[in-house]
Amino acid sequence: MKFTIILLILGIGGYEAVQYYNDLPASAPSIAIRPKAAAPTTPEPTPEPAHAPDLAAVPVLGGHPITHAKVKEIHESGILFLCDQGLIKVSFKNLPPEFSDYYGPMAVKEVVAAEPTDAATATPVATPPPAVKPKPERTPMQDAQATLAYSQAVSALRDRLQNDQSVIDHWYKQSSFVQEGRITESQFNVAKADFEAVTAQLAELQANGP
């Protein structure tokens, strides 16, 4: 009997415990952390575009204003205007700042063409004369030997010229009917070539001297 009562009490206690735990919330409420709002950024002011300057009367530093102007060309050095005064180019430094602000980005780089050289008026460059090699100092005996060698060389070259000239003259004077002692065309060509070569050698020898 006591055992039955004990089991009954335990069963009731266990039931109450199960009901207590079932009545508890599933999870504790969580605290949501909101991100900190970013500080509002102030937009940078947009620069206003430059306005076109008034061309009705353009003031010029150090000169008279130009009137009813039209822009013809824009260069890095200034602006070319067509106005009542004619075709006038004014540099940016002589114009109000608004002209540089507005027309400066439109400037075109000026290309300076090289001036052609007139061959007729160009000053010729003098060519220095070739340097003359000084002759080495010689003794009187060496001078005599050099003079003798020079005379012999000149005489030998002149003899060759005389022989070549005789062959050339014979070629032009010979008859086609006479075969004895005839100069062939090959002999003529050899004599003519030797005559030209010896002439050049003799001229160089005489220019240098003994």
Q: What is the model's pLDDT at position 76?
A: 86
Say if residue 24's pLDDT is above 60: no
Say if residue 22's pLDDT is above 60: yes
Question: pLDDT tens across 59-83, in order?
Answer: 988 888 889 989 888 988 899 988 9
Instruction: Label residue 48 exposed, middle or buried (CB < 10 Å: 0-12, 13-18, 19+).
Output: exposed
Question: pLDDT tens across 105-156, in order?
Answer: 888 776 554 444 444 444 556 666 666 566 667 788 887 888 888 888 889 9
Q: Would you place residue 193 in the very low, low, confident or very high pLDDT band (cuts 50, 70, 90)?
A: very high
Average pLDDT over residues 91-95: 89
Say if residue 49's pLDDT is above 80: no
Q: Rounded to the nearest 10 degrees, how much is the dihedral formed by the CA atoms of 197, 203, 205, 207? A: -150
Q: What is the model's pLDDT at position 185?
A: 85
Name residue 66's beta-bridge partners: 58
Percentage of the residues of the chain whose pLDDT score is greater than 70: 65
Say if residue 89's pLDDT is above 80: yes
Q: What is the DSSP string of 90-140?
A: EEGGGS-HHHHHHHGGG-B---PPPPPP-TTTSPPPPPPPPPPPPPPP--H
Q: Given 3-state DSSP classes, what are the helix, strand and coil percentages for the chain, each rounded to the nearest 5?
A: 45, 10, 45
Percentage of the residues of the chain whose pLDDT score is greater than 90: 7
Q: What is the model's pLDDT at position 140?
A: 81
For the sheet with 70-74, list strands across it.
70-74, 78-83, 86-91
Q: What is the model's pLDDT at position 55?
A: 87
Q: Rounded to the nearest 10 degrees, how much is the dihedral formed by the CA atoms of 53, 59, 61, 65? A: 140
Chain mean pLDDT for the chain = 76
Q: What is the model's pLDDT at position 27?
A: 47
